[in-house]
Amino acid sequence: MKIAVTSLENKKAGEVELNEAVFGLPVRADLLARMVNYQLAKRRAGTHKVKERGEVRGSTRKIKNQKGGGARHGSIRANIFRGGGVVHGPRVQDHSHDLPKKVRLLALKTALSAKAAEGKLVVLDNTEVKEPKTSALVKQLAALGWSSALVIDGASVNEGFARASRNIPCVDVLPQQGANVFDILRRDTLVLTKDAVEALEARLK
């Protein structure tokens, strides 16, 4: 599969051959959904916690006598009282779950293939900018038609491009080792540099 290479100046910069084993797989929504759920579950802190009946502050004295009128409560820390413990509330827990490595790699290849199949995959020659200015980069991205984009660079992100794009909404920049399914799907356009294409094909084929 051949795809045209463009530059930040919106000029053609040749063509590049994409590996079908990485960019030409059939799109499987089930794989993508499993991977996104895996990522979102893994990033949850799981530090939500409420105080239960045994943890709230309060006297353990029996509120009223067993006989002689009044409900037979044993403790003021019961959940029905103001300031009492919470019943069945959230506890500290780990929300992450396992997903086989082969499934994770296949999901990443499927996400790349989905963008290629939709025509929303763009190959960029490089991310070098003349000056690291946000205003200049905004104009270049507008000319290219990238209002929502994920830019994946090579082993390291160009410092000037990263600085210029840092304050642009809906534009994310990652090195190739940070490529992931969730970030690819959450942006409309996927932009790969030629270095990123080579690195991803070497890693995933």
**Domains in the chain, number:** 2
At residue 9, what is the residue type?
A: E
When pLDDT is averaged across residues 63-77 and rounded to a whole number, the result is 85
Q: Is the pLDDT at 162 greater than 90, yes or no?
A: yes
> Do the Cβ atoms of 4 and 123 come closer than 8 Å?
yes
Same domain assignment for residues 34 and 58: no
Q: What is the CATH number of the domain that holds 160?
A: 3.40.1370.10
Same domain assignment for residues 39 and 56: no
Domain that residue 152 falls in: 2-44+97-204
- Ranges assigned E (strand) in 9-137: 12-17, 121-124
Look at 49 and 131; give whichever has higher pLDDT: 49
Same domain assignment for residues 33 and 56: no
Give the orientation angle of helix 101-118 with respect to helix 29-43, to 10 degrees.
Answer: 120
C-alpha dist (Å) from residue 166 to 109, 136, 138, 161 = 27, 13, 11, 8
Residue given tokens 């840092």 in the structure block: 166
- Write out pLDDT tens, residues 39-64: 999 999 999 999 999 999 988 788 88
- Write out pLDDT tens, residues 175-187: 999 999 999 999 9
pLDDT value of position 168: 94
Q: Cα–Cα distance between 185 and 187 in angstroms, integer? A: 6
Global pTM reads: 0.84
Tell me which of 31, 64, 89 is where a domain ends. Answer: 89
Same domain assignment for residues 73 and 117: no
When pLDDT is averaged across residues 115-124 and rounded to a whole number, the result is 94
Same domain assignment for residues 82 and 14: no
Same domain assignment for residues 61 and 146: no
